[in-house]
Structure 1
Amino acid sequence: MTPSVRRAARGPARRTGRAAAAVGCLLALVSAGCTGGPGGASGPDPLDKAAGGPIVVASGLDVTGSGGVRRQLIEEWNRQHAGRPAEQAELVELPGGADQQRSQLLGALQSGSARYDVVNLDITWIPEFAEAGLISPMPEAETEKEADDDLDFMKRVHATTLWDGHSYARPFNTDVGLLYYRPDLLTKAGIPTSRRPTAAWTWDDLYASVKTLALSPDRPDDQAGWTTQLKQYEGLTANTIEAFETAGVQLADSQGRYKGSAEQLKKGLDELLDRGDRGRIRPAALGSDETASLTDFAGGRAVFLRHWPYGYGALRNLLGPEQYTVNRLPGKAVLGGQNLAVTADSPRAGHARELVTFLTSQQSESCLFDAGFAATRASVYARTAKPCWPGVAAALRPAGGTPEAAATGGEGVPEEQGEAQREAYARTLSAALNEAVQRPRTPYYGAFTHVLQSHVHALLTTDSPDSGKTAADLDRELRDVFAGR
């Protein structure tokens, strides 16, 4: 069990500590709001002035590249707060994959070795960090304008910030599984437009197209029907939960209590095995992450691809606009993304909350969407959306990407998909987000995903998969994991 889990298991002690902190505030007659417990967060803290700057934001690496949109939004905040040193912000990007970043953040916040004021957390980590007392609840809306602003966040996306009846973060960028496909390769295989993906597509529809592709005499030897991310990492967990949810299998309730059974798990595993059938999927998918699967798709080695929204922008640099398109994933799609939370011991909590509000504002969310992330606000997907901050938009424009260069086909400028295609993409993405499902909400998510990945990857890579045995073993271990044992 990780140190954070051990700390989380001592819930009463943590709550007692918060109560003592509240009493201490009263005895000291401190007028500033205490932020140690649920509902305790308030407006800008006068102590921020004494603490000084900068406001330190810890985040994983930006998939939009160095100098990406997250850093540009921080720079925009700094421009708007020029001349106020205590309100300047600094972005610290943590190396490594999601699991490594989680471990770094847990270690830093528990030990106090790094003075982070804001942390950009994967949505699955919110219960763990909240239970461990490492992040503070966000203040409730005090005005009608603030309440309306909160309602602009997509309902299912905002639900990822909640734990134990309180919101501990604000949605920054979101994610959802999507189905990408190659119209050019479908045409080459003789598959008509009437048999291409729609919002009503099922996995059986996809399998039928994959079968037709396999029979095409022009199919290259290394071309498979579809690919995804089945390497032993978090991408495998996302794919597994999508298969489970499509089969009607839910592993936990909203309070993080296990609700599965060996029989249900077998049903979900059989659904996943169907998707991973070696006659359908590219064999390399068993070792693929997002980068590898996107590369195979762009290279024509897979005709269909399950991937995240940022792939839509990334493909601009790899394929022509007529060579790729996207639709909703058949069955259920998993929600992903990151939320911004203020650390529990931040001496700059007031300014940190103001920064979080700025980074998740409508204009900032428009910047995230323009850069390839999925925005968390419903308003961003409307034609009347507020545009990205001008300074950020200019910084994100690719080299040679001025309107004049685009009109003349300037060197290095990817050919854009048309406005109609981009609007269709926005509608598809919005609809997918509004129907997405969450991975289990539990303070023990790190242990859960490790156990799930281990059993599932072993099942997918064996020559004689026994879903019944795997289900029984997984059921036994998950009961312990969700109980914190």
Structure 2
Amino acid sequence: MRRSLPLVLAVLLVAGCGTASDEHGGETGTTGTGPITFATGRDTTAYLQPLLDRWNQAHPAEKVTLLELPEAADEQRAQMAANLQAQSTRYDVLGLDVVWTAEFAENGWIIPLERGLFPLDRFLPPVVETAVYKDKLWAVPYTSNAGLLYYRTDLIKKPPRTWAELREKALEVTKKHDIGGYAGQFLAYEGLTVNFSEAVQSAGGQIVSPDGTKVTLDLAKARTALNFLTQGLREGWIPKESLTYKEEESRLAFQEGRLAFARNWPHAYGPAKAKLGDRFAVTRLPGLDGPGSSSLGGVNLAISAYSRHQHTAQDFIRYFTGLDNERRVLTEGSFPPVWTELYDDPELIRRFPYLPALKESILTAKARPVSANYNQLSLVIASSVAKGLSPPFAESADDVAASMKSELEEIIRTQ
């Protein structure tokens, strides 16, 4: 018996370190328990730590530490990619933007998960699809997202359903009340890709096929989408400072009374409520001929292939995406949950009147391309649109759209 002890210890030590996925994300068990780190974007509403404290109180030997990354999605991705390329064990659970699933899975940075461990059939169907790549589940939906139009109810009697109505009301408000009309996220980053994608979709088009294998951009629809934005900038109902806006800047501009209309995600609702009370409401984004189409956003939770405590990470994800915690994600963070039944809860609807509109927005939203090269596609879209929006508008909408399409086709040809 004594001679076999070293072998037993060696086996236990290997099990305690956990396992990593193969080069392209082969099937991986989740072994290893102990403290974990949760890497995700900056918590701008300070809701996360109290939820993590609940886990930590119940799991003193498997505590989770929050590691906040930058607010901007592309900066988050850059830090995560650098860490994972180095095969660092620093991250255990990753809060991934829904568009990163394919890239992280293809690179072997995250491990596949067993579908049966999670109640996916009770989640919003489009949200579940964002966590699937090549028929495998690579993450678990944690929050969903769809863009909404925030508007001042004390200044506007009826919200606009079309771009023409938005323009008319924004022009009227800017002249009458001397505030900005409308803004979204127009800085050249992922937010601009989202805003332009929504404009193209709301004009009846699409930039890239859902599987990311073909550029489907119709130049006429792209021109219409771009002209909607440039017209606002030329006429002044979209303030020029919005060209520097990310989510936080546009949120602050609206809740501080500097905008009559703002496109933003639902997380901006809570802070706006605290500042504006009942002087605002939200509705679906307007479009060319009626309600528009949002880009599908959100965060999925994945496990690093280099985590030494993958079993704890998996248990934490099951807890953190459970029904009770998802309710707190909404009530304490104002983030859209992924459980369908929460959108139909009368008590929650009384507290968050926008839930029915948000549910409809999520169900009618379009996912961004599923591509391991999504980051490159997004950079081309954002940089192209930024050129088109920059005063004095030297490049025509037609030239911007044609150049964008050509660059996107080159990326897809070489992937």
TM range (shorter): 0.7 to 0.9
What per-residue deviation string (whole Å, max 9, x for no partner) do you get for residues 74-123 of structure 1? Answer: 221121223xx2x3322222246322221111111121234322111111
Letter of the 2:146 counterpart = V
2:311 pairs with one of 350, 360, 368: 350
Give the equivalent residue in structure 2 for 1:380. Answer: 342
- Please tell me whether residue 273 in structure 1 is matched to residue 227 in structure 2: yes
2:353 pairs with one of 424, 429, 454: 424
- Please tell me whether residue 184 in structure 1 is matched to residue 154 in structure 2: yes
Contact 1:53–1:89 (CA under 8 A) maintained in structure 2: no
- Please tell me whether residue 315 in structure 1 is matched to residue 269 in structure 2: no
SS of 1:316's equivalent? helix
Assess, with a 3 A threshold, how the Cα gap between structure 1 residues 423 and 309 changes in structure 2: closer, same or farther. Answer: closer
Residue 177 (structure 1) shift: 0.5
Residue 35 (structure 1) shift: 5.3
Assess, with a 3 A threshold, how the Cα gap between structure 1 residues 336 and 106 changes in structure 2: closer, same or farther. Answer: same
CA distance in structure 1 between the aligned counterparts of 2:281 and 2:352, rounded to whole angstroms: 12
SS of 2:155's equivalent? helix
Contact 1:369–1:375 (CA under 8 A) maintained in structure 2: yes
Assess, with a 3 A threshold, how the Cα gap between structure 1 residues 34 and 228 changes in structure 2: closer, same or farther. Answer: closer
CA distance in structure 2 between the aligned counterparts of 1:425 and 1:267, rounded to whole angstroms: 29
SS of 1:184's equivalent? coil
Give the equivalent residue in structure 2 for 1:441. Answer: 370
CA distance in structure 1 between the aligned counterparts of 2:149 and 2:257, rounded to whole angstroms: 15
Assess, with a 3 A threshold, how the Cα gap between structure 1 residues 431 and 346 changes in structure 2: closer, same or farther. Answer: same
Assess, with a 3 A threshold, how the Cα gap between structure 1 residues 64 and 204 changes in structure 2: closer, same or farther. Answer: same
Give the TM-score normalised by structure 1: 0.74
- Please tell me whether residue 213 in structure 1 is matched to residue 177 in structure 2: no
Give the TM-score normalised by structure 2: 0.86
CA distance in structure 1 between the aligned counterparts of 2:105 and 2:79, rounded to whole angstroms: 16
CA distance in structure 2 between the aligned counterparts of 1:169 and 1:333, rounded to whole angstroms: 22
2:37 pairs with one of 48, 52, 56: 56
CA distance in structure 1 between the aligned counterparts of 2:63 and 2:44, rounded to whole angstroms: 24
Letter of the 2:27 counterpart = G
Residue 168 (structure 1) shift: 0.5
Letter of the 2:67 counterpart = V
Letter of the 2:138 counterpart = Y
Identity, in percent, stands at 31
2:72 pairs with one of 97, 101, 104: 97
Assess, with a 3 A threshold, how the Cα gap between structure 1 residues 133 and 33 changes in structure 2: closer, same or farther. Answer: closer
CA distance in structure 2 between the aligned counterparts of 1:286 and 1:474, rounded to whole angstroms: 19
1:475 pairs with one of 405, 409, 415: 405
What per-residue deviation string (whole Å, max 9, x for no partner) do you get for residues 370-394 of structure 1? Answer: 1211111112223278x9xxxxxxx
CA distance in structure 1 between the aligned counterparts of 2:111 and 2:20, rounded to whole angstroms: 10
Assess, with a 3 A threshold, how the Cα gap between structure 1 residues 183 and 140 changes in structure 2: closer, same or farther. Answer: closer
Give the equivalent residue in structure 2 for 1:158. Answer: 128
SS of 2:355's equivalent? helix
What per-residue deviation string (whole Å, max 9, x for no partner) do you get for residues 316-337 of structure 1? Answer: 2321x22111111121111111
CA distance in structure 1 between the aligned counterparts of 2:307 and 2:76, rounded to whole angstroms: 19
Give the equivalent residue in structure 1 for 2:57. Answer: 79
Gaps of 5+ in 1: 1-27, 187-192, 388-418
CA distance in structure 2 between the aligned counterparts of 1:355 and 1:298, rounded to whole angstroms: 35
SS of 1:244's equivalent? helix
* Greater Rg over alpha carbons, structure: 1
**What is the number of residues matched between the two proteins?**
388
Gaps of 5+ in 2: 1-13, 287-291
User: Could you say what the CA RMSD is over the residues aligned between the two structures, in angstroms?
Assistant: 2.5
Give the equivalent residue in structure 2 for 1:364. Answer: 325
